């Protein structure tokens, strides 16, 4: 917006406020002067006009209201300039205030985006960009795996559905790829660290034992007791245990990530509604050359981050 257009908008706004507050019909417009004429000794004179027509407190209140409105108008103009050209996805996908930006370790730094309930069914966000307004540094949202696999590195565009979210981490993926959360992915937390932490929502080992154990559970009380002490999303440590061959077979078949996928992929609650996306930027302590090449992505304070669609139009703006 040009300065001339802003000035014109300012006067139009002031005029609208004047009309809304009474305009030419406001008492102050026709109250006339309030002055006291020259008096003579022994004579008491009254001023012209009515002092009640000019309420000083009310006038100050109106002035403050106008000044506040002008301030908000200027702020709206600045924000509009900063936002830029709006994307068709504006309002469908937003940056969440639950983000953790400005962390010193890129593996702990993340920003969260969310598709609203009114969003289009299949929004491809791979190729969208996050831009730091302070330094114009840009990060592109990569491809990912909808079903995290230990046997394949194949990736595809990341699709958000209504009410889906994506946690976009500045650092590198602990599993080497971006992925959609599912009921079994908590098994990875046994030997890898995730920030923020992954949900431990794996199926209960005791429930799987009751449903899938193929041995004689009446004779195999030792296996049942062992399984009862196994935590969700945990591959059991069988060392030193005297278990039956049927028990070992059950553990190897069901109580690990791949076994969980094979058994529960068709469950109604298998899929999560959140993605873990990794931008792959290293830190000084972990990868000096990578940090020197890219530099700090987000400032720790006084920053604005734009989410741009595939055509470079602004989906949302996050300021902190």
Report the alpha-carbon angle 215-217-220, nearest 5: 90
When pLDDT is cut at 50, 70 and 90, the band that residue 290 belongs to is very low
When pLDDT is cut at 50, 70 and 90, the band that residue 286 belongs to is very low
Beta bridge partners of 174: none
For residue range 237-252, list pLDDT tens digits in order.
Answer: 987 788 999 999 999 9
DSSP secondary-structure letter at 51?
G
Helices (H), 47-123: 56-83
For residue range 209-233, list pLDDT tens digits in order.
Answer: 999 998 887 788 999 999 999 999 9
When pLDDT is cut at 50, 70 and 90, the band that residue 263 belongs to is very high
Beta bridge partners of 166: 113, 275
Beta bridge partners of 115: 93
DSSP secondary-structure letter at 285?
T
When pLDDT is cut at 50, 70 and 90, the band that residue 66 belongs to is confident
Rounded CA-CA distance 73/79 in Å is 10
DSSP secondary-structure letter at 86?
B
pLDDT at position 79 is 66
Q: State the average pLDDT for the chain.
A: 82
CATH architecture of 93-183+270-319: Sandwich (2.60)
> Nearest 5°: phi and psi at 29?
-75, -25
- Please, what is the angle between helix 245-254 and helix 257-264, to 10°? 80
pLDDT at position 54 is 47
**Distance in angstroms between the alpha carbons of the first and the last residue of the chain:** 24
Q: Answer whether residue 293 shows pLDDT above 50.
A: no
> Nearest 5°: phi and psi at 80?
-65, -40
At a CB cut-off of 8 Å and minimum separation 6, what does 94 contact?
A: 113, 114, 116, 315, 316
Query: What are the domain boundaries of the chain?
Result: 3-83, 93-183+270-319
The tokens 């945990």 sit on which residue? 234
DSSP secondary-structure letter at 126?
T
pLDDT at position 134 is 87
When pLDDT is cut at 50, 70 and 90, the band that residue 62 belongs to is confident
Residue spans of beta strands (DSSP E) within 46-170: 93-95, 110-115, 123-124, 129-132, 138-140, 159-160, 165-169
More confident residue, 131 or 26: 131
Nearest to 62 by CA among 100, 17, 120: 17
Q: Is the pTM of this model over 0.85?
A: no
When pLDDT is cut at 50, 70 and 90, the band that residue 130 belongs to is very high
């Amino acid at each position: 917006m040009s300065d001339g257009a802003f000035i014109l908008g300012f006067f139009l706004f002031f005029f609208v406020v004047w009309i809304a507050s009474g305009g030419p019909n406001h008492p102050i417009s026709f109250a006339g002067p309030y002055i006291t004429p020259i008096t003579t000794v022994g004579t008491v004179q009254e001023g012209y006009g009515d002092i009640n027509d000019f309420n000083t407190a009310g006038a100050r209140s109106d002035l403050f209201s106008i000044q506040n409105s002008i301030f908000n108008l200027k702020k709206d103009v600045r924000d509009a300039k900063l936002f830029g050209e709006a994307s068709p996805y504006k309002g469908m996908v937003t940056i969440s205030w639950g983000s953790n930006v400005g962390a010193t370790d890129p593996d702990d730094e993340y920003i969260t985006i969310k598709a609203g309930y009114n969003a289009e069914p299949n929004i491809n966000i791979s190729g969208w960009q996050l831009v730091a307004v302070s330094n114009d540094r840009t990060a592109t949202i990569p491809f990912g795996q909808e079903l995290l696999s230990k046997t394949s590195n194949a990736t595809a565009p990341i699709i958000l559905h209504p009410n889906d979210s994506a946690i976009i981490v500045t650092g590198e993926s602990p599993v080497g790829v971006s992925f959609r959360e599912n009921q079994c992915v908590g098994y990875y937390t046994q030997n890898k660290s995730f920030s923020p932490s992954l949900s431990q929502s794996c199926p209960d080992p005791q429930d799987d034992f009751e449903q899938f154990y193929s041995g004689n559970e009446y004779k195999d009380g030792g296996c049942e007791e062992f399984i009862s002490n196994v935590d969700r999303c945990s591959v059991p440590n069988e060392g030193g245990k005297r278990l039956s061959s049927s028990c070992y077979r059950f553990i190897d078949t069901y109580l690990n990530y791949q076994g969980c996928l094979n058994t529960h992929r068709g469950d109604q609650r298998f899929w999560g509604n959140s993605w873990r996306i990794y931008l792959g930027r290293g830190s000084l302590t972990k990868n000096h050359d990578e940090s020197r090449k890219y530099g700090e992505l987000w400032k720790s304070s006084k920053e604005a981050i734009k989410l741009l669609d595939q055509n470079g139009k602004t989906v949302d703006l996050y300021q902190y």
